[in-house]
Amino acid sequence: MNRLSNLPKIDEFLCDYRLIEKSGGIPSKRVTEIVRSCVDSMRMTVLQGGPSGIRGELFELIMSDVLSSLSEYTSERLTSVINATGVIIHTNLGRAKLSQSCMARALLISTEYNNLELSLKTGARRNRLAYIERLLCDLTGAEAALVVNNNAAAALLASAALCAGKEIILSRGEIVEIGDSFRIADIIALSGCRIIEVGATNRTHISDYERAISPDTACIAKIHTSNYKIMGFTAAVPAVELQSLADDHGLFVLEDMGSGIMVDLRSYGLPYERTVADAIRDGVGVVTISGDKILGGPQAGIIVGKEKHIAPMKKSQLLRCLRMDKLSLAALEATLIEYTQKTPSIPVLELIGQPPDILKVRAERLKAALSVVSGLTFTVQPHTAQIGGGSLPEQSLPSWGVLVKGLHLSNNKLEAMLRSGNPPIVATLQPDGVMLNVITIPDSRIGDVVTNLLAHKPVSQAHT
């Protein structure tokens, strides 16, 4: 008998309910190619003396490979995860969580027609950023404002519109590299300006900037070292002093503040940090911030400052390439409106401000809920949390967590098991277990943590 005669046909797999359920969101052509590849692989196995089996057995063997391949195809799609790392603004996990009101606003605007570029007052075309600019100016005290799709774009636009063909003076200690090896100096240089490095890595003085000023100087830049801190024998010049120097020479300061702090963080148990309004009061000509860090909004690059500097940016052709879409604008508008309230409802700020005793109670509640899971041990422990996202890198937050340890499961496999579950849990690997830091796990997700662990039945994976 022909050993290949028991191989099922492609259509038999395509009609199977398991494949239909698993292939949602995958183009039908790709699904067919995956099935054909798995059948071809089994054909080669059979020809090489592998299992010929009965038709049903071969079908199940191939179907297992097909379902695995479909899972691999969809494994990197965007999905909701439980952040158990204790990092509040986690770049890999989407940075700032948005409020429900913020997302409701974005949903409404995106699912209906809207007045994105139409003035309802005059019936004429309007600037899509008009209301956002008004809000930003009122909140920060700036003369003018502009919004683009991220903070790197903000720095690029400002440099291109105001400094192209000229020089920008920047301290060596502020030539930072951000995620995925992007260097802020290289991004600024794309505008066609030249970076003039001054000072040393750890110490830069006002005299360093003054000596570097030439007829080709356009501005002095100050870049927030958002994801690291130089400690020890250091010196840096405050932006207000740089602006005074710039004023004496007919220049301006371009300050990248990074996180975009809009409120006094002492209200949330943190030391005071300079706000965007502080920078405007200091007279800084152009200030850029990120929308999705401590500000707590969507990804955005926000530019505020003096009208004479913002105006050329508004006329730049580059602005069209960097503009924000209606979804992000609606979310940013809702976020900024929160800052008009005495106590803004911003998830990032609320997470930062959680008292440690409340977190301890939540950790104990999580441990109690996990008692139904066998094969693992659970211990409530104090743990340190971080703000993250390159915001206040030296500032840690007191928190609590549940340390999970497998009786017959390595810590690495336990961490991977949590991450591959449904819903996925991203936790922190520790020398003595896997830590679930509850500062980023709301009470509403405790049941989901239990579901993840119960589904894996870790006790059955003994000695793996």
Instruction: Give this prediction's pTM.
Output: 0.89
pLDDT for residue 260: 84
Calculate mean pLDDT across residues 235-259: 93
Looking at residue 461, its pLDDT comes to 44
Per-residue model confidence (pLDDT) at position 231: 74
Residue type, 211: R
Q: What are phi and psi of 423, to 5 degrees?
A: -75, 155
Reply yes or no on whether the pLDDT at 459 is more than 80: no
DSSP string, 286-343: EEEEESSSTT-SSS-EEEEE-HHHHHHHHH-THHHHHPPPHHHHHHHHHHHHHTTSSS
Cis ω for the linkage preceding 423 (within 30 of 0): yes
For 127-170, the pLDDT digits (tens) are: 999 999 999 999 999 999 999 999 999 999 999 999 999 999 99
Select the more confidently predicted residue: 463 or 50.
50
> According to the model, what pLDDT value does residue 460 have?
44
pLDDT of residue 261: 92
pLDDT (average), residues 417-434: 94
456 pLDDT exceeds 80? no
Confidence label for 12 from pLDDT (cuts 50, 70 and 90): very high
Q: What is the mean pLDDT of residues 399-421?
A: 94
Mean pLDDT over 348-367 rounds to 97
Tokens of 420: 């591959």
Kindly tell me if the per-residue pLDDT of 295 is higher than 80. yes
Q: Give residue 394's pLDDT band: very low, low, confident or very high (50, 70, 90).
A: low
What domains can you pick out in the chain, each with its CATH number?
A: 10-74 (no CATH), 82-93+351-461 (3.90.1150.180), 100-345 (3.40.640.10)
Tens of pLDDT along 73-94?
A: 998 889 999 999 999 999 999 9
Instruction: Encode burial over 92-105: b for 16+ CB neighbours within 10 A, e otherwise.
Output: ebebbbbbeebbeb
Tell me the C-alpha distance between 282 and 276, whole Å. Answer: 10
Return the pLDDT at 5. Answer: 74
Supply φ then ψ for residue 34, to 5 degrees: -65, -45
Residues 427 and 436 sit within 8 Å (Cβ to Cβ): yes
User: pLDDT value at position 2?
Assistant: 65
Rg (C-alpha) for the chain, rounded Å, is: 28
Residue 10 is predicted with a pLDDT of 94
Tell whether the model's pLDDT for residue 1 goes beyond 60: no
Number of Cβ within a 10 Å radius of residue 149: 18
Asked if 367 and 378 touch (Cβ cutoff 8 Å), the reply is yes
pLDDT confidence tier of residue 34, bands split at 50, 70 and 90: very high
Overall average pLDDT of the 325-351 stretch: 94
In this prediction, residues 447-461 reach a mean pLDDT of 78
The mean pLDDT of 176-196, rounded to a whole number, is: 81
Q: Please give the share of the chain, as a percent, with pLDDT higher than 90.
A: 75
Average pLDDT in the chain: 91
- Greater confidence (189 vs 331) lies with 331
Please state the rounded mean pLDDT for residues 377-395: 86
Least confident of 195-199, 317-321, 386-390: 386-390
pLDDT at 27: 95
DSSP 228: -
Res 463: pLDDT: 41
pLDDT at 464: 40
282 within 8 A of 289, measured Cβ to Cβ: no
pLDDT at residue number 114: 95
Q: Can you tell me the mean pLDDT for 298-312?
A: 97
The confidence score (pLDDT) of residue 389 equals 72
pLDDT, greater one: 85 or 8:
85
